[in-house]
Amino acid sequence: MSMFSKLKQFKELRSAAKSLQQELAQEQVITERNGITLTFDGNLDVKSLVLPPGMSTDELQRRLPEVINQAIDKTQRMAAEKIRKRGGLEGLGLGGN
């Protein structure tokens, strides 16, 4: 493979990754657990966090990590499904040569 072919392939990969990132930014994943509601976009950026009134600091420290971990897992699954629908890694230009 020539240097120019590799550069072209890299540019296509970068373009596909940027397109996927923009698509994921439009998604919202809402996770609610124990009265705590956390919203991520598909790039794992926090968009909102709603805490129940009156929840103690100790209870928040115990429950918040559970909600965050669940939200991350849910968001990663959604992103993986989007990638799969695009043809997996091959759809992003990372498949076999």
pLDDT in tens, 22-79: 999 999 999 999 899 999 999 999 999 999 999 999 999 999 999 999 999 999 999 9
Residue 32 to residues 1, 4, 57, Cα–Cα distance (Å): 50, 49, 18
pLDDT of residue 51: 95
Per-residue pLDDT, 59: 95
Partners of 37 in beta bridges: 32, 50
pLDDT for 87 equals 79
Cα–Cα–Cα angle for 67, 71, 76, rounded to 5 degrees:
155
pLDDT range class, residue 97, cuts 50, 70, 90: very low
- State which fold the 3-89 domain adopts: Ybab; Chain: A; (3.30.1310)
> In sequence order, which residues have a C-beta less than 8 Å from that of residue 60 and are 6 or more positions away?
36, 51
Neighbouring CB atoms inside 10 A of 79's CB total 19
